[in-house]
Amino acid sequence: MSSITTHTMPIRVRYSETDAMGFLHHGNYPAYFEEARTELFRVNGGDYRAMEEAGLFFVVVSMTFRFRSPARYDDVLNVTVELERYSAAKLEHNYTVRRGETLIAEGKTVLALVDGNGQVQRITEKVPGIPAE
């Protein structure tokens, strides 16, 4: 399998994403992970927007976060996503968020593939870059 399985993208913390404690609010990490995941899909030749227009949708089944150190406004964070495992039923990604050498957060998501009616689809048959088993 020649797919690229990891990708790092920089994301700068917006002022609107901070909270009264002065830190990046933890509720923004799902969006950061999602943005990095989209980029990993893109570097593999995937186009998630076109996939949705064709009636296939990734849905998040579960997600886990562990926060190690706070991030602040204007920090440039390196969000790394890795496709850890896949099957016909689900994709499992791991994530790390770092500012330089400092580990900010870690996480994991599990995704399933559904059609426009919410019916579960076989990922290995439908998704470019995910080879049939």
- In the complex, which residues of this chain contact its own copies (CB under 8 A)? 12, 14-23, 25-28, 30-31, 34-35, 38, 48-49, 52, 57, 59-67, 70, 72-74, 118
Q: Which residues are catalytic?
A: 19
Min separation Cβ 56 and its own copies, Å:
11
CA distances 47 to 41, 63, 103, Å, are 7, 23, 30
At 77, the amino acid letter reads L
Min separation Cβ 8 and its own copies, Å:
16
Three-state SS for 102?
strand
Task: Closer to its own copies by CB, 54 or 60: give it.
Answer: 60
Three-state SS for 74?
coil
Min separation Cβ 26 and its own copies, Å:
5
Q: Are 41 and 117 in contact (CB under 8 A)?
A: no
Task: Closer to its own copies by CB, 31 or 131: give it.
Answer: 31
Bridge partners (DSSP) of residue 81 are: 7, 95
